[in-house]
Chain A
Amino acid sequence: MAIAKCSVESVEGDLVKLEVKDTNRPDLWSAEGIAREIKLRTRKPGLPAYRTFKSKVKVIVDSSVKDVRPFTTCAIVTELQMNQAGLSQMIQLQEKVASSYGAGRREVAIGVYDLKRITPPIRYTTVDPDGIRFVPLDLEEELTPREILHRHPKGREFGHLLGGARRYPMFVDSSGEVMSIPPIINSNFSGKVTEDTRRVFIECSGFSQDRLSGALNVLSTALAERGGSIGQVEVRYPGRAIVTPDLRPRRARLSLSRFRQISDLNVSVKEAYRLLEKSGYKVTRRKNDRIEVMYPAHRQDIMHERDLMEDVLISYGYDLIKPERPRLPTVGELSDVERFSESVSSVMTGLGFQQVMSYVLTNEVNLFSKMNLSGQPVIELENPVSSSWTKFRNWLLPSVMEFLSHNTHADYPQRIFEVGDSILPDAKEETRAVDRRKLACAIAGADVGYQDISSALDALLYALGTRYELQAVSHPTFIQGRVADVIDQGKSIGVVGEIDPGVLEMWKLEVPASAFEIDLTYLMEGLA
């Protein structure tokens, strides 16, 4: 499995669940593709050969699709030996290609039809959303396309891709039988494939002719792996015609010397050829260092000679290559902020404070409401997964209060601190935000007061070589008359005081608490 970049997740009788790691290889997203890969690397090297022929099926593209879903590629596959497994693989492949390679059906949508029920030529055109009725797949009543968008599950899921278009794209055959409304749903009549289906019509629709070709090549060759013959279809746009699928192999080049250098393997020319063939390439010629190959049309991922190099290495066998630690004389170093944070943490634990660690992502309530503050501008998520984690903290004290609120049953006094990052919006910064390392510290317990917290703050700042001043200030989180600004070289670097009982109540604490918070980034910059 490893050579096909898969790992086995589970095996239940006949059913094997695999995770395919390569998100760039849609040709591996089905049993047929994986089998093909394993076969060529173990038994049948070189380019795969598929039976192809020029079919008589034509697809006529109306100019009206240009504004809503401009391109299509199509194929037919005959002599299919379909069974339950093959059917489920085809459906799975179609879904995965459209969702991943096709970016949620937006770039590529795929339809597969029972060719027996279609009368060519096929037209790819547009239709008035209320202008036609047909039975969509999996339902029993006739609906208009607009109704399908509201009532069919696929309509609700993918309707947004039509973006309120005035006319919807449609595949229809020459007898007027609706085949599908891409990218939404097939018709029940022709758009249903079963184990008995022997001949299929495949279409891919979307916004990039290249991407659609790639998808079609993957689908059609997968079906051909099951014994089918691929029939090419003529797609007639206004003013030009193309024949799809184009399964001609493509060209690529590999520098033997660069391969030897990157791999540190001294492979001979003959060995290189053998490994290339084992990877599914056909060597066409060599000019000194440069080997020219052809690769099959179902490969969408070949961009650079590195892609060939990786294939060659996989065929060689990663387990046969001896690891070698690089001998590089480099000197390691902690970042300034981490080194500083370690010193701070060391002093704080020396003062008897237990270190805690919390998430930077939090919410409005914790950050402000429960601290008796009105909201401040902070960095917020556009697409959070939960209302609990929507905003990035711009100060640490709420995290510390939250910690205390989770430990009302633990022995008091509780002395805790956190050193961590907070994110401040800043229009001057490259990414409109800046990270600041902060320290927040709290003591909770029956006899705890300003004298305890100020004494700890003093010990810490003294140990960090900071000569600071305290200035009485107002701060809604703290008791009026028991809170001070911490000033260093004329700048406010933090706050210290006794927590306001209203805030204690909101955090469900029943003992007094005192706390301070210091901006360590300021301190670091000041001491620099």
Chain B
Amino acid sequence: MPEKLKLTDEGTEYLKHGLPEMQLVGALRQGPLTLDQASSSVRNLDIALQWGKKKGWVRIEGGVIYLTRAPDAVPEQEALELISKGIPVDEEITQVLFQRKLVVPESAILDELKKLEGRTVSNLTPDLIRTGFWRKVKIRPYDVKAIGAKTYPAKLQPYNRFLSELRHKLVELGFVEMRGPTIETEFWNYDALYQPQGHPARDWLSTFYVKGSDVGDLPPIAEKVKMAHERGVSGSSGWGHRWDPARARRLIPRAHGTALSARTLAKGPLIPGKYFAMARCYRPDVVDALHFIEFIQVEGIVVDSTLTFRNLLGILEMFAKEVADAEELRFVPDYYPFTEPSVQMSARHPAMGWVEIGGAGIFREELTKPLGVDIPVIAWGLGMDRLAMFKLGVRDIRDLFSRDLEWMRGKEVL
């Protein structure tokens, strides 16, 4: 029975990359190479040249290597492959491989291992496992309290993880995510929401405007929105001011996510429908620890013919419990230009105490009718930044977009 063979480390490397003289032949197929050039593409060039010359495959003239003859077959390479699969090879080629120290008999390995019998070893090796010899050695105990080198797992950005969990929670609650353009027309951001053109929120100090003379397009329903502003709809007196379409075309970065809700209603929402958006919004604000000009707003709508004021409270309560871990709730009257009635909710968070969590209202009919919706629409918004700041342990709202790599590396995930 031929002796069982095993590849040495060098043999394993040649199995993977090819014998050095084979690599050299491969490199020379494109033409002769200088010694310098060859050394950057052929591992173990000295061995490659030694065997390449010996086998008559290559010659060197004046510092340049030339391909004399490309071989048809390389028996050593084939043998390495067979041996690695446990298939026996003939004696002659085995001797060549022994000579080049590319294989060793298993018994040689066992002979080496036998020297370790009864002794204590530092490492458990593949040879010990494969031969079963591990039963005959002891493994040195470590000081298990000593940890290896410091390493940082790559993770999601902490605020992004918070938002992502919130996003998934909303999807679990049956909400569909809305998306829309960052740059909006005043039409979708304000007019379609029945906010009058003279409202202070639309002036120079309260809204950002896009520089330049470009204006946006108005959709066909702009006519209906114009009527609602000027003369009201379904019994409303309207704002009574002349509605200027040129004003409505002006371009602004989105000031609130409610622009997306307007677009969704105009497109024809699912009924029943529950929608949400986590939109980047922009407002000129005094920059301080709690306010920045770019922020993320979480808001959305619920659409169905059966919706009532009690559902408005119910939706807010659902968010308080499911999203904000709140224990007690308080509803107070509030005001938004696009909803009537409106509610604001404060909740008692187990650690933060009473915080304003969000607000909601039923969209005014002057808003929904021109957009083609004839059933109640509840609009809701959640103020999540304070909760995020609390959960992440930051005091300044800009730290939600932290630039501190060390902080991120060290941040826990739960």
Contact = CB atoms under 8 A, between A and B. Distances in A.
A43 interface: no
Listed residue (A322, A324, A332, A357) with the most chain B CB atoms within 10 angstroms of its CB: A332
A100 interface: yes
Interface in A465-515: none
A289 interface: no
A22 B337 CA distance: 9
A319 B331 contact: yes
Contacts of B280: 360, 421
Contact of A323 (B157, B310, B406): B310
B156 A264 contact: no
Interface string A350-382: 111111111111000000000000000001111
A325 B156 contact: no
A430 B209 contact: no
Contacts of B406: 407, 410
A434 B307 contact: no
Nearest to A304: B236
A370 to B, nearest CB: 15
Contacts of B172: 332
B174 A328 contact: yes
Interface string B109-149: 00000000000000000000000000000000000000000
Contacts of A332: 170-176, 274
Contact of B217 (A2, A335, A384, A430): A430
Contact of B335 (A22, A103, A208, A261): A22
B159 A431 contact: no
The bracket for how many chain B residues form the interface is: 35 or more
Contacts of A318: 313, 331-333, 343
The bracket for how many chain A residues form the interface is: 35 or more
B154 A353 contact: yes
A338 interface: yes
B232 A100 contact: no
A271 interface: no
B395 interface: no
B235 A304 contact: yes
Interface string A412-439: 0011100001010001011111110000
A16 interface: no
Contacts of B405: 354, 356, 403, 406-407, 410, 414, 416
Contacts of A358: 401, 403
Contact of A304 (B294, B313, B365): B365
B386 to A, nearest CB: 15
Given A318-B332, A338-B167, A383-B204, A354 B311 contact: no
A24 interface: yes
A407 B310 contact: no
Contact of B403 (A306, A337, A407): A407
B223 interface: no
A68 B307 CA distance: 49
Given A103-B200, A303-B366, A304-B232, A423 B401 contact: no
A44 interface: no
12 contacts: A23-B201, A303-B238, A322-B310, A332-B274, A334-B168, A334-B171, A342-B164, A379-B253, A382-B209, A382-B211, A432-B214, A435-B181
Given A304-B232, A361-B294, 17 more contacts: A5-B334, A100-B200, A208-B241, A303-B237, A304-B234, A313-B341, A323-B310, A324-B313, A350-B154, A355-B154, A355-B160, A356-B403, A359-B294, A381-B211, A406-B405, A432-B214, A433-B183
